[in-house]
């Protein structure tokens, strides 16, 4: 059985005379990574479909996914050393996650991960990673001067573009669209009622209300609404989805968010970036000290 010692930045491996058993693809100190663990990671990437990769690209992907598994083992090992446990806080976090996902999306993730146990295992590892990061990098702070400097250098990021609130009616037939528009112009019925009655779009049952949006958020066909006045109805506009009639309900001019309005948001961004940099540095040091061994033959056979 062959064994490989790859160089950093992906891995640091130490020479060892004893080969790994064939069912294991890697060893991290006293922990082992089974072939099936890596196979599951690959399946998650391709969502059960056959990988359309070969040669160096395929091996590079497997090494990258294996590196992720190795790092997770190192983090879990550190958590034990630090005395970090899931406990009641994890149960509360899991409950909030379930609520945030919603039943349908939660069950979809359970399906993708191959069962409730595997899905919750992944979430728990992410939770523990966060606790380790708190322990390692929790003392990082961001000063007022740094926050203001970031704001001044990224003012365009805090500019809110012009937005409009629009209703629409969508039908598949041009003549039908023209008839509806005539009814609207003659005020024979309200836009909301006609949208509920005729529109094939999902928001039709809500009176055609699309809410607020800016230019960048919608297809080119919606550009016309920005030249309309509040209360004005558009001409019939064709798109790949059918024939549209728009009505502008509200308009909001472009505005510049001031520093006090976004200061805490900026703090969160910078803190997140600094904490991740700190954590990656710590993780690199842990990897350099770890005894990591790879079963290259098993790695090549997977897939």
Q: What sign results for the dihedral spanned by CA atoms 264, 266, 272, 274?
A: negative
What local confidence, expressed as pLDDT, does residue 14 receive? Answer: 40
Query: What secondary structure does DSSP assign to 29-76, as a single string?
Result: TTEEEEHHHHHHHHHHHHTTSPP---HHHHHHHHHHHHHHHHHHHHHH
The residue written with tokens 């983090």 in the block is 75
Q: What is the mean pLDDT of residues 197-211?
A: 96
What domains can be seen in the chain, in order of their start residue? 162-253 (3.10.50.40)
Mean pLDDT of 47-61: 78
Specify the DSSP element, H or E, that contains 190. Answer: none
Instruction: Give the span between the Cα atoms of 145 and 205, in whole angstroms.
Output: 50
Give residue-wise pLDDT tens across range 248-284: 999 999 999 999 999 999 999 999 999 999 999 999 9
Average pLDDT over all residues of the chain: 90
Residue in the block written with tokens 């003392």 = 139
CA distance 78 to 73: 9
Residue 136's pLDDT is what?
A: 96
Task: Give the pLDDT band (50/70/90) at residue 50.
Answer: low
Q: Whose CA is closest to 122, among 113, 131, 132?
A: 113
pLDDT at 10 over 60: no
SS3 of residue 303 by DSSP: coil
């Amino acid at each position: 059985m062959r064994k490989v010692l790859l160089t950093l930045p992906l891995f640091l491996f130490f020479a060892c005379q004893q080969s790994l058993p064939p069912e294991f693809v890697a060893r991290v100190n006293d922990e082992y990574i089974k072939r099936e663990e890596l196979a599951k990671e690959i399946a998650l990437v391709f969502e059960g479909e056959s990988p359309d990769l070969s040669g160096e690209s395929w091996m590079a992907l497997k090494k990258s996914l294996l590196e992720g598994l190795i790092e997770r083992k190192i983090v879990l090992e550190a958590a034990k050393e630090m005395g970090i446990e899931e406990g009641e806080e994890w149960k509360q976090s899991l409950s909030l996650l379930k609520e945030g996902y919603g039943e349908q999306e939660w069950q979809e993730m359970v399906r993708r991960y191959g069962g409730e146990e595997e899905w919750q295992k992944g979430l728990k590892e992410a939770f523990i990673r966060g606790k380790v990061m708190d322990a390692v990098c929790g003392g990082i702070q961001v000063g007022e001067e740094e926050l203001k400097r970031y704001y001044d250098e990224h003012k365009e990021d805090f500019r809110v573009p012009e937005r409009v609130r629009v209703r629409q009616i969508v039908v598949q037939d041009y003549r039908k669209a023209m008839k509806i528009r005539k009814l609207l112009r003659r005020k024979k019925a309200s836009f909301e009622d006609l949208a509920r009655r005729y529109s094939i779009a999902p928001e039709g049952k809500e009176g055609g209300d699309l809410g607020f949006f800016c230019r960048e958020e919608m297809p080119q066909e919606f550009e016309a609404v920005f030249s309309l006045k509040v209360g004005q109805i558009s001409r019939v506009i064709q798109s790949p989805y059918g024939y549209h009639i728009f009505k502008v309900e509200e308009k909001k001019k472009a505005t510049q968010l001031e520093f006090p309005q976004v200061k805490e948001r900026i703090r969160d961004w910078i803190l997140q970036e600094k904490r991740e940099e700190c954590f990656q540095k710590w993780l690199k040091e842990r990897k350099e000290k770890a005894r990591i061994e790879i079963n290259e033959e098993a790695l090549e056979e997977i897939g």
